[in-house]
Chains A and B, each alone.
Chain A
Amino acid sequence: MTSWLDSLQARTMVALVLAVGIAHVASLWVHQFALDRELAQAGDVALAERLVVAKRAVARAAEPDRERIAHDLSGGPLDMHWGRAPLAVPGGARESESRALEARIVTLAPELAEGGLVLGAGGDPHTLTLSMRLPDQTWMNVGVFTAALNPPSHSGALLSSTPMVLGTILVSLLLVRRITRPLSTLANAARKLYAGGDGTPVPETGPRELRELSRSFNDMQERIKKLVETRTLALAAVSHDLKTPITRLRLRLEERGGGEAERAMAADLLEMDRMIDQTLAFIRGDASGEPFRLFDLTALLESVVSEAADMGGEASLAASSRAVAWGRPLQYKRAFANLVSNALRYGKSARVSVESGGERIVVLVDDDGPGIPESLIDKVFQPFFRVDSSRNLATGGFGLGLAIARDAILEHGGSIRLINRPEGGLRVRVELTADPRT
């Protein structure tokens, strides 16, 4: 099946064109056939009548006038003369045709055969000669120009009805398009639903089956939306409600003073809080309505690195110049904070550098860890994936940091890549859209 014939619309149209075309040709043929018969019949009647009239007129006239009258009655396909002998010779080249004509006109006007009727080939291939004996034993000789008897069937019918048929097909095509359009709309809506669209219901239009399909689709979409919303809300509520007991625990710990166990517990609480934040960020898609704006990426990275360093991490930033970017700063901050905290967690240090040039800004986050086995480099972006589950559990973390960072960067039209540096350690390479005004 060729591609253009692949759509329902094209196939319906082809079926329609074929059906209408065949019906058109067949009816034209039937029509033409009937018309031809009708015309032939009319020609025979006219011929028979003229012959009868001529025969009577000539028979009544006086002999000297007969040739003149016969001549006067000639015209069209008939050339009539009066004589004492028949000129027609039976048989000859066109015997069957002359017999048939004889039979037809005699049936129509039996009077013609009274006295005697002879038909035979004429002087040239297009004529027949017909001889009728008059009551006084003289003859009327008639040359019949047979080609002129039956007027040629004209093709006017074909010419005038073809535009009509084409018009019909065109109108039908438009109708087919109208009928099948809801299907395309539906397909688009289904695609959007998959891609996380807003779940706008598709209009329930078109023929009944399509309306039913659209309605079912809308119902399904609504149910999926509700399900996702409910689950997201439930997860968010749980994560959110954990914040209050964590706050209580933290305040209680502070009351107890700063022993080693208390410090460890405080660190555990911090870790729990971070995991909750990550889960919330992941299930909410993080952006939560933050508008796009111009922001100082270097300052943002400075904040991330300063905060990590203040927490005791070995983090540093190298920026050649100030990089201004276009996007959601909070979302970016969370993404880079995740990358830096991963580097500190698995790679002991985080060296961030920014290079801006032209349209793009490149941010590198290097660490001094063991890197990631090449075979796992694509998998680490999957939520909840752990390179080494035992190590990951020991150091905390949820397996969401990279997934959140990647989602944020891809949403901004950027790219993120993990590279094992040849000299050891992992490099995260992020490319972002720079200030669109420069």
Chain B
Amino acid sequence: MSNGADSAHILVVDDDVQLGRLVAKSLRADGYRVSIARNGAEMWETLRHSPVELIVLDLMLPGRNGLELCKELRATRATPIVMLTAKGDEADRVLGLELGADDYLTKPFGSRELIARIKAVLRRAGPDRAALPAGAVGGVIEFDGWRLNTLRRELVDPAGVAVDLTTGEYDLLLTFLEAPRRVLSREYLLDSARNREPHAFDRAIDVQISRLRRKLRSSDPESGVIKTVRGAGYMMTAETKRE
């Protein structure tokens, strides 16, 4: 799994030097170019000297450095940010997302999850991301009366009832919503919406699809929101609208 010569440059900002090195190591193993910063000053220094496609930012418990850095970053540039948080920090996490982070990972995470998140965020950001004005990313995707809040990873049905999704289902739905009315192959879906729990069995993508259909309450593979295209894969049939 190499990203080749045009691989993205990722900046890891973490006050824990060892964790920063470990993260950098696994990202390099996957073909990314990685720089490490231990604090805000080093982060700005790196940003001044070389273009960065994505920032992995540890929120850190003592002080609110991570959140402040996130806010400062968003004030000046649209570089995608993946936050590292601890599970208990739901309030911090939501705040971080609202301050402009693109996604988050809860500690402890494995390298597979980390890379899957980074890939997804880079894919969503697209090549034109750097040209976008600050704050133009993230938010709510609407389809068929449903609303998916990508900041809070929250799905709400047309009646306003919150519908819980597993991580796998969320990733799958997001992949569909980013490519509406396009036939997506099993391989593509599996690669982009990979189950992030390293201890979990990789369920066949069909199982995930049928679970997602059940949650969306449109189980019919012929006429539902997610349509089966025989021999090719699946397709999201609904119109999507970003807010």
- A residues neighboring B (CB under 8 Å): 236-237, 239-241, 243-244, 246-252, 254-255, 266-267, 269-270, 273, 277, 280-281, 284, 288-290, 293-296, 299-300, 302-303, 306-307, 310-312, 322, 324, 329-330, 333
Contacts and interface: CB of A to CB of B under 8 A. Distances in A.
Contact of A254 (B61, B91, B111, B215): B111
Query: Dominant SS at the A interface?
Result: helix
Nearest to A293: B162
Given A239-B88, A241-B61, A255-B25, A296 B163 contact: yes
Interface in B85-107: 86-91, 107
B166 A250 contact: no
A294 B161 contact: yes
Contacts of A254: 26, 110-112, 198
Interface string B26-52: 100000000000000000000000000
Contact of A312 (B161, B163, B201, B214): B201
B160 interface: yes
Interface in B110-142: 110-112
Given A251-B25, A293-B162, A294-B159, 12 more contacts: A237-B61, A251-B110, A251-B111, A252-B22, A254-B112, A267-B199, A280-B87, A296-B161, A296-B164, A302-B214, A310-B195, A330-B90
Nearest to B86: A243
8 contacts: A237-B61, A244-B19, A249-B108, A251-B25, A280-B88, A296-B164, A306-B166, A312-B201
Nearest to A253: B110
B108 A247 contact: yes
Interface string B209-230: 0010011010000000000000
Contacts, number: 113
B22 A243 contact: no
B90 A299 contact: no
A302 B201 contact: no
B25 A303 contact: no
B109 interface: yes
Interface of B: 16, 18-19, 22-23, 25-26, 61-62, 86-91, 107-112, 157, 159-166, 168-169, 195, 197-201, 203, 211, 214-215, 217
Interface centre among B19, B23, B88, B90 (most CB of A within 10 A): B88
A35 to B, nearest CB: 81
A246 B195 CA distance: 21
B118 to A, nearest CB: 14
Contacts of B18: 248
B101 to A, nearest CB: 18
A43 to B, nearest CB: 93
Given A293-B162, A295-B161, A299-B163, A236 B88 contact: yes
Given A243-B87, A294-B161, A329-B162, A299 B197 contact: no
Contact of A277 (B16, B87, B162): B87
